[in-house]
Structure 1
Amino acid sequence: MEFLVDMVTTVPPGTTDGEIADMRAREAVRAAELAAQGHLVRLWRPPLAPGEWRSWALFQADDADQLETALASMPLRVWRHDTVTPLTPHPSDPGSAGRLSGTGRP
């Protein structure tokens, strides 16, 4: 299954620049691991308000429980609120293998 995850991070007041840099570095390592495992498929930065930390991510997981395990393994999760939207294929998806091969239904 694919899931779109809207991730909004709020850094706690009083957090030092060094703590933020460490957290971001650990998050980048974990994101790379999840990508290598096939769970983190894409990552986008939407338009941001001043001081806002927000990302949109496309995840692949067997089910919601496996997705939650992946999200919970990310260091920034302690500062982050995630909104998860399960995605289902659209019959007119131009990226669908069946549609591209001529076997899909419009």
Structure 2
Amino acid sequence: MQDFLVEITTAVPPEVPSEEVDRRRAAEAVRARELAAAGKLFRLWRPIGEKRSIGIWRAGSEAELRADVLGTLPLWPWMTAVVTPLEPHPNDPGAASH
């Protein structure tokens, strides 16, 4: 399993009805819990005052991450993602606990 740092920005088109946005946001929360339970979504943060998210996601490859993980998010059609593959750092203080 590979770790990825993923920065996601969501831009809902202005013509989308608010009911559709609300429905997708509710479904997004459910899907995020499912992906976390499956070990695909490890951590997720939102920078203070911003509408983007930064998270640690896990998948077998970047292609799998984009297609089979991020691509299953209900808001994905309105998202842009910057994906950075990660590898362990030799001085990572958390590595001893894994």
Query: Normalised by the size of structure 1, how large is the TM-score?
Result: 0.83
Identity of aligned residues (%): 47
| Superposed counterparts of 1:1-106, under 5 Å | 1-49=2-50, 53-68=51-66, 69-97=68-96
Q: Which has the higher contact order (CA 8 A, sep 6+)?
A: 2
Amino acid in the other structure paired with 2:44: L
Query: Normalised by the size of structure 2, how large is the TM-score?
Result: 0.89
* SS of structure 1 residue aligned to 2:4: strand
Contact persistence 1:43–1:58 (CA under 8 A): yes
Contact persistence 1:10–1:80 (CA under 8 A): yes
Q: CA RMSD in A?
A: 1.6
For each residue in 1:50-88, what CA deviation from the matched residue of structure 2 results, as whole angstroms up to 9, or x when unmatched?
Answer: xxx311111011211221120111111100001100011
The farther-off stretch of 84-93 and 14-23 is: 14-23
Contact persistence 1:48–1:54 (CA under 8 A): no
* SS of structure 1 residue aligned to 2:12: coil
For each residue in 1:13-34, what CA deviation from the matched residue of structure 2 results, as whole angstroms up to 9, or x when unmatched?
Answer: 1222211111100111111111
Count of paired positions:
96
Unaligned runs of 5+ in 1: 101-106
- d(CA) in 1 for partners of 2:17, 2:63: 33
Unaligned runs of 5+ in 2: none
